[in-house]
């Protein structure tokens, strides 16, 4: 079995040094280091700093749930005699431990004292006064104690099944139980229905806010759970388990039924990480490691709550605007006007919506118009992530009620959204919608919505394509590009893709859409190699690509070779990137940067230029092997020169000028924060776009009746053509 941590080597052009690719999992952890840095920044509002701290914990949970199992399995398979497997696992554990240590140091030494200065106190038992202790005891007896069932371990009470990421206490007891036995270990499972943070009423009149954590409430009253016994040692603990559902689609009759059954077992997969209190005794921690069959490196001692994710409740409880980001109200898409027909607008040309700077309401308005229009005969849509409470799904249900033909391609295997998607699929199917689940063995990750409308004697198609999901909540938090079109070639391609997904028949030749797993990888290689050939001829060649991750080795090798031929390459990669930039003699012409800001960067934009010819694609796909060969993905060209220039300016140029939230990848694989010029000011792409599109910046809209500034006409030489030295240095 290959070592999952092995450093892979690529050979680039003849005569050039071999290139060691960066480790993907280490790169994922490095991304979380950059997110954690936002929590350290004093210019980040205090509650937002806590929120970023919690986001890192949530990301680490997912990392262990999805990425850690192969590493631990390799260690076990190769045995303790394999120094290679041991070193690889230890290196990954060390990187994760380092992040966790930074988190709790920040939480205890910086954030808690700063909260106290703001009159916000998360009180431990020793910090509570007599009145507060009485309130906590009453709360424990009323709300908590009735839900707790301590389990004393003995041959008839074995170690209980502990669910993934659940809160538990382990207790070591002295004395004898009611039957005269000396069973010393007990487990207390904490129900998930209990809130993790509670506010204590303040009677001082000083305007202070006092809170208590559930762990502190239980810890203070553990003795009440074991009358007649002596609580000698105790610790909270939490185990993280492998949670990536694996279903052999070739071997099941009903994927939906198989996945629902798998969901029932997800919480009890292989244990991968154990978190305990920092003061947990060696006796108890070793006992837990043995129960979960984990090596010592999997133990994380934390000086605070074992689940920082749940501290987001404190953000909601405090909810002080002065300690949050200034509220941002995205503008209605500036190419659209509320109350006017989007179908009519699309007859004039394509529409681009840059989310979240412009509102997702434009997409909902498009679907709402289709649902309410009696001339609309059919609606087809892919669903990857839409959430459990979605207006979009309500609209699709209404479309079925109105007698329209509704076809929905639901991706049941969207990680951690499986249950919501199964529920939506069952609901739509029960009322008469046609629900299909795509192609066996391939996730349907493409985002598209197609409306067929009768216009006179003709049927006309209107489409929506997106780099992001049909989720109104994340559309306020993720940067994505939505694209509305009535382009007959593009919408015919969409129709053919829907037909292909439902019928599994041979895919007709596509005119504008590029589809994975059939053409996308080859198309991207073709575009890169064309730039290489142009550069070899002495032409000016330029490539700029924005994505979430870059891990596909074929595309990486093509980029390296293109850079060595003279193509100037800028890559804006938010998360994992295995291509080391600026390696002397190998990747001198390639720069990689990551933007980490208030919004999660999610759009995929690919720009290619040789001489005066430029091409731009938007896509649902990252440059990862799974996206190129294991998913149904789409990319489409932006042919309108005005819209193309707008996307270049807003999604690429602005981010290459960013000196506020940007990190540049160094030759050794580390990231360095980009500093503003010595006599300049920080420039943030997200802040600039918020200022451009936010409703507070569009005060003239109501006076003029127009939707803000018009898209800029394409320049003869856009900023991507200029000398790159002026951009980020």
Hey, which residues does 210 pair with through a beta bridge? Answer: 121, 200
Report the C-alpha gap between 254 and 696 in whole angstroms: 51
Sequence-ordered strand ranges (E) for 625-681:
631-637, 662-665, 671-673
Query: What's the rounded Cα separation, in Å, for the pair 369 and 374?
Result: 10
- State how far the Cα of 408 lies from the Cα of 425, in Å rounded to an integer: 8
Q: Can you tell me the distance from the alpha carbon of 258 to that of 248, in angstroms, rounded to the nearest whole number?
A: 9
The three-state secondary structure class of 633 is strand
625, 555 in Cβ contact below 8 A?
no
Structure tokens at 249: 């689609």
What's the rounded Cα separation, in Å, for the pair 567 and 583?
Answer: 15
Cα–Cα distance for residue pair 246/321, rounded to 1 Å? 43
- Whether 628 contacts 520, CB under 8 Å: yes
Does the active-site annotation cover 71?
Answer: no
CB neighbour class for 3 (10 Å; exposed up to 12, middle 13-18, buried from 19): middle
> How buried is residue 139: exposed, middle or buried, by Cβ count under 10 Å (0-12/13-18/19+)?
middle
**Does the CA dihedral 542-547-549-555 come out positive or negative?**
negative
Helix segments in 589-711, DSSP class H = 625-629, 641-647, 654-656, 685-693, 701-704
CA 250 from chain center: how many Å? Answer: 29
Cα pseudo-dihedral 388, 392, 393, 398, rounded to 10: 150
Which residue of the set 210, 445, 500, 602 is catalytic? 445
Q: Closest Cα partner for 65 from 159, 160, 163, 161?
A: 163
Question: 């002295």: which residue's tokens?
Answer: 174
Coil, strand, or helix at residue 85? Answer: helix
Helix axes of 69-78 and 46-67: crossing angle, nearest 10 degrees: 40
Counting DSSP H helices and E strands in the chain, the numbers are 23, 29
Please list the active-site residues. 445
């Amino acid at each position: 079995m290959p070592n999952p941590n092995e450093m892979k080597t690529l050979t680039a052009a003849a005569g050039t040094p071999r290139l060691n690719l960066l480790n993907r999992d280490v790169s994922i952890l490095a991304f979380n280091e950059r997110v954690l840095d936002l929590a350290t920044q004093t210019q980040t509002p205090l509650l937002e700093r806590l929120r970023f701290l919690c986001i890192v914990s949530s990301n680490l949970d997912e990392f262990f749930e999805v990425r850690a199992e192969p590493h631990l399995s390799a260690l076990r398979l190769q045995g303790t005699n394999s120094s290679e497997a041991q070193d690889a696992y230890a290196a990954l554990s060390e990187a994760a431990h380092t992040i966790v240590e930074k988190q709790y140091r920040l939480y205890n030494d910086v954030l808690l004292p700063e909260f106290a200065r703001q009159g916000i106190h998360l009180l431990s038992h020793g910090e509570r006064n007599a009145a507060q202790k009485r309130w906590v005891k009453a709360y424990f007896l009323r709300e908590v104690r009735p839900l707790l069932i301590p389990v004393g371990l003995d041959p008839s009470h074995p170690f209980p099944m502990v669910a993934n990421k659940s809160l538990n206490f382990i207790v070591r007891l002295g004395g004898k139980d009611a039957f005269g036995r000396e069973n010393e270990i007990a487990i207390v499972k904490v129900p998930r229905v209990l809130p993790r943070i509670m506010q204590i009423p303040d009677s001082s009149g000083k305007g202070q806010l006092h809170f208590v954590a559930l762990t502190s409430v239980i810890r203070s009253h553990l003795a009440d759970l074991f009358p007649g016994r002596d609580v000698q040692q105790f610790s909270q603990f939490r185990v993280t388990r492998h949670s990536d559902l694996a279903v052999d689609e070739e071997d099941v009759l009903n994927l939906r039924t198989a996945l629902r059954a798998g969901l029932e077992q997800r919480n009890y997969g292989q244990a991968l990480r154990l978190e305990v209190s920092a003061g947990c005794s060696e006796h108890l921690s070793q006992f837990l490691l043995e129960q979960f069959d984990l090596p010592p490196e999997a133990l994380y001692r934390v000086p605070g709550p074992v689940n920082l994710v749940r501290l987001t409740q404190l953000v909601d409880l405090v909810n002080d605007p002065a300690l949050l980001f200034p509220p941002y109200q995205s503008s209605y898409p500036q190419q659209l006007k509320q109350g006017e027909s989007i179908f009519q607008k699309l007859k004039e040309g394509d529409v681009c919506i840059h989310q979240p700077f412009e509102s997702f309401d434009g997409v909902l308005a498009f679907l709402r118009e289709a649902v309410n229009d009696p001339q609309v005969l059919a609606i087809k849509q892919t669903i990857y992530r839409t959430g459990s409470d979605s207006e979009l799904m309500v609209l699709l249900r209404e479309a079925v009620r109105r007698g329209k033909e509704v076809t929905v391609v639901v991706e049941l295997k969207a990680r951690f959204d499986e249950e919501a998607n199964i529920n939506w699929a069952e609901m739509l199917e029960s009322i008469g919608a046609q629900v299909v689940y795509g192609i066996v063995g391939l996730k349907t990750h493409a985002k598209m919505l197609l409306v067929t409308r009768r216009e006179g004697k003709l049927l006309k198609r209107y489409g929506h394509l997106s780099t992001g999901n049909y989720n109104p909540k994340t559309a306020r938090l993720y940067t994505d590009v939505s694209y509305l079109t009535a382009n007959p070639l593009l919408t015919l391609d969409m129709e053919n893709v829907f037909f292909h997904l439902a019928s599994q028949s041979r895919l007709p030749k596509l005119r504008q859409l590029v589809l994975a797993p059939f053409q996308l990888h080859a198309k991207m290689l073709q575009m890169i190699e064309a730039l290489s050939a142009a550069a070899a001829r002495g032409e000016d060649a330029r490539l700029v690509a924005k994505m979430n991750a870059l891990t596909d080795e074929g595309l990486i090798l093509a980029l390296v070779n293109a850079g060595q031929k003279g193509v100037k390459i800028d890559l804006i990669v938010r998360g994992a990137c295995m291509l080391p930039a600026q390696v002397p003699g190998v990747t001198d012409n390639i720069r990689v940067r990551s933007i980490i800001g208030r919004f999660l960067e999610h759009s995929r934009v690919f720009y290619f230029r040789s001489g005066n010819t430029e091409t731009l694609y938007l896509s649902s796909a990252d440059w990862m092997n799974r996206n190129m060969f294991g998913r149904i993905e789409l990319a489409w060209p932006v042919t309108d020169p005005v819209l193309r220039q707008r996307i270049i300016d807003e999604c690429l140029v602005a981010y290459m000028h960013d000196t506020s939230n940007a990190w540049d990848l160094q030759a050794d694989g580390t990231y360095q924060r980009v500093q503003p010029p010595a006599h300049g000011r920080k420039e943030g792409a997200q802040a600039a776009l918020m200022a451009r599109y936010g409703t507070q910046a569009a005060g003239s809209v109501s006076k003029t009746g127009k939707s803000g500034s018009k898209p800029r006409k394409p320049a003869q030489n856009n900023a991507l053509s200029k000398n790159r030295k002026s951009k980020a240095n």
